[in-house]
Structure formats: structure tokens, C-alpha cells
Chain A
Amino acid sequence: MMAQPLAYLKESPSQTAGPYVHIGCTPNYSGIEGVYAEDLGARMVDAETQGERIRIVGRVFDGVGTALKDALVEIWQADAQGLYPGPSETRGTADPHFSGFGRSPGDMTTGEFVFETIKPGKVPFKDGRPQAPHVTVWIVARGINLGLHTRMYFGDEEAANAADPVLARIEHRARVQTLIAPRTQEGDVPTYRFDIHLQGENETIFFDI
């Protein structure tokens, strides 16, 4: 049987970001100064950004419980009204004082990543039901061959989390908590601590999106 050729290209295969990803993605942090004014994704909010100021912190752990010192974590989230910045948002115009995109290299000695941001509003699932507030997270590092996608949900949104259509489809219910960051007060703003476990008993849920 012959048919017309189905002429799609193949996606370029991924490769690890390697241990020196910071040279390309956060050069000022890695000590290469004077090339860019500031590192991309270093600042998500300004004085006029709407919404509750929060901090997201965490570390990325490997399968033996060691914190990675060379991971790069990126987040993408909606504004306080649940709108994403940029031209692909068709439901309205997002807060012009919010980037939605953050990138953190992690502290070179502790591995802790930090995002100064705002708590996002709800965005719809494909069928129109609201999703619980969440942040999309992408992790690359030496030893990770293809960037890992996950989501961070908020520990103080119990009712919304219980109704979230994505969380609802996770078969192993005990694993849902790996996506939920407890709210704490560490210093001046509410802080959500989101540790990521790449492998093992408390392995974070990763998505094939």
C-alpha cells in the first residue's frame, strides 16, 4: 500500500545543558559581566506589578539526596488575573508590569533557587474549568538529557487544588503532594518552598507536555 508522503520534520534532539549552562543563560551570575545589562529572567516584577508579592524558593535533589549546585530552573506563570504575558494570550491583555518568566541559576554553594514574583490567578483548563493557581517549572542541568517539566501548586489553595483537572488525573494520589509547595513566612514576604526530587522515593511528578 502506498500513500502520499507525510512530510513532517523531526524536532531537533535535546542534549544536556551541561555544567556551564550559566555562561549562556545567566552570564552575569557566572562572572561574565559587561555582555548583557542583566541576566534574562532575573526580574519578574516591578513596583507597579499587581498582585500579592511572594517568593518561591527550593532546591533540586538527585537520587542520593544531594542538592544540585549546577541546575538552571525556569518558571512561567500567569499574572494576578490569570492572564499570560505575550501575543499568544488570546483572552485579554496581561499586566504590563509582569514578565511571567523567571530564571534562577541556584546558589553556587547551596543550590537554592529563588524567584521574587506574585501569586498567579487561575487559568482555564481545555474544557473551560478553572485550574488551580500554578507555576510551570522547567529544569535543566548537567546529567539531565531533556529538560524536565513540572508544576508548582500552592499549599494554601486546598479547595482549588482539590478541584484541579490536572491534579485530578494523577493515578498515584500519594504523589500529588510532590507538586504542592507549603506556604511559610521566611523573612519579609510569604514564601513557598518547592523542593524538586529528580529520582527516588519522593520523586517529583514530571509531565510529558
Chain B
Amino acid sequence: MSGGSFFQRDRNWHPAAYTPGYKTSVTRSPQKAPISLDNTVSEMTGPVFGHDLIGETDNDLLRNFAHGGEPIGQRIIVHGRVLDETGRGVPGALLEFWQANAGGRYRHKKETYLAPLDPNFGGCGRTLTDADGSYRLRTIKPGAYPWPNGVNDWRPAHIHFSVFGHGFAQRLITQMYFEGDPLIWRCPIVATIPDRAAVERLIAPLDMNNAVPMDSRAYRFDIVLRGRRSTLFENRTEGN
């Protein structure tokens, strides 16, 4: 858990900043190389959140915005573990997630898609990982939705995840996709990731073993954060 600086990020595994197939990236991508900075205490520390932050229904999107009814859609459980690159679970990691409703409509002032809002579905939730890094949430499966990139581009069904590990250098936002969705391989945002094997890390398999019979299916989604060096042999003489 504690230790030194985080493993270097593999920027050939992550999407590049400039990915013209995703049009908005064209004017929002830095053109100059980032300056490499071995972590100082400013990057090795980060906010850690306590269980007092989390309400009873924060990880249950079937209930946390219910206004006298149940949201319409396919009831699912999403569960998994947050690990670091050494394979150890990351306890106490804050996960925040957000998504569209079953018809692909987001509850947001700037969203204008004609599919209707669901009066019992907000679309946000959060949780903290357990001692072994595991987490669980309950929701409805989001729908695909169209977006103004190409004239006929549709996002695959997805859930956004924001993750806080133990250091600010581990901060990560990503998206979870669903096994078997044919839109995944047509999506310009998915295609910002250069390596097919990396895309596959974001596709959650159907997990019937964790389904609740006559209630909800389940998907398994593990998230990997940057690993961390040991400080055992760090003499702190580097610098310039």
C-alpha cells in the first residue's frame, strides 16, 4: 500500500491525446510533449475517503433516485476488484460511476436526445472498495445512444468509472463496455485505444455465477491502477 513512486504509465497502451477519429480531441490535445516528473510527495499522496462519505443506497442505482417506482430496463449487477499492477487489491478506493438510462438518455441539462428520461433513474452512484479491493453496484443496463461525431455514430452501451486509488498519480477515468456488443468495434472513442488487447480490458464479461435468479444478471469488471515501487533501496539522492 505505502511505498515510493508509481510505475511509469505506458502511454502507448493508453489512448494518445490526438485521435482525429474522435473529433473533439483535435482541438483539445496538447501538441507539446509532456514533461516527465518522477513522483514527489505531491503525486504520491492523494485524497482518501472514509465510509462516512457513502450512503446506504449510493451503489444501488435502482433505488438511489427512485421516485415511487422502479427504473425500467434490464436489471444488472456489476462487480469486480480494483487491483494494482502487482495484482494486489486496492482497499478503500473510491469508485464513482455514471451512465445513461435503458434508452440511452442521460439526465443532464445539455442532453437533447429524443429518447425519454426515466423518472426513477438518476444514473450516478459511488462506492468504496472492501479490504480485498472488491466492489459491487446494482443498476439497469444502459442503452446505446447517438452522438454528433460522424453523421451516424453510436456509442456502445457503457458505464463511466472514475477511480481514486491511494495517490493522485493513480487517478483514472475510464469506461466499461458489455461483452458481445457489436458497437464496440465501430466506436471512435473505443478506437482511441491503439491496442485491441487494451480495449478487451474494458469489456465486462457476462457473469452468470453472480446473477440473482429471477432478479438480475451480473457482469464482472476488474480495474487495474498503477503499481508502486518499494522504497527499500531509495536513497533519495536523485534530483538535479
Chain B residues whose CB sits within 8 angstroms of the CB of A156 once the complex forms: none
Contact B86 A11, beta carbon cutoff 8 Å = no
8 Å CB contacts to A: which residues of B3-47? Answer: 6-11, 13-17, 19, 22, 24-32, 34-47
Q: Mark A72-86, 1 if CB is under 8 A from B, else 0.
A: 001010100000111
Size category, A interface: 35 or more
Tell me the dominant secondary structure on chain A's binding face. loop
Contact A86 B48, beta carbon cutoff 8 Å = yes
Tell me the dominant secondary structure on chain B's binding face. loop
8 Å CB contacts to A: which residues of B157-197? Answer: 160, 162, 166-169, 171-175, 189-190, 192-193
A199 to chain B, nearest CB (A): 6
Name which of B70-78, B212-220, B231-239 contacts chain A: B231-239
Task: Determine whether A57 belongs to the interface, using a CB cutoff of 8 Å to chain B.
Answer: no
Known A-B contacts A30-B109, A32-B123, A199-B30; A14 and B24 likewise in contact (beta carbons under 8 Å)? no
> Chain B residues in contact with chain A, CB under 8 A?
2, 6-11, 13-17, 19, 22, 24-32, 34-49, 53, 55, 58, 64-65, 83-87, 96-98, 106-111, 122-126, 160, 162, 166-169, 171-175, 189-190, 192-193, 198-199, 201-202, 223-227, 236-240
Partner of B46, one of A18, A86, A125: A86
Q: Mark A133-174, 1 if CB is under 8 A from B, else 0.
A: 010101011111111110100000000000001101110000
Task: Determine whether A13 belongs to the interface, using a CB cutoff of 8 Å to chain B.
Answer: yes
Name which of A111-119, A183-191, A200-208 contacts chain B: A200-208
Known A-B contacts A86-B47, A131-B40; A16 and B107 likewise in contact (beta carbons under 8 Å)? no
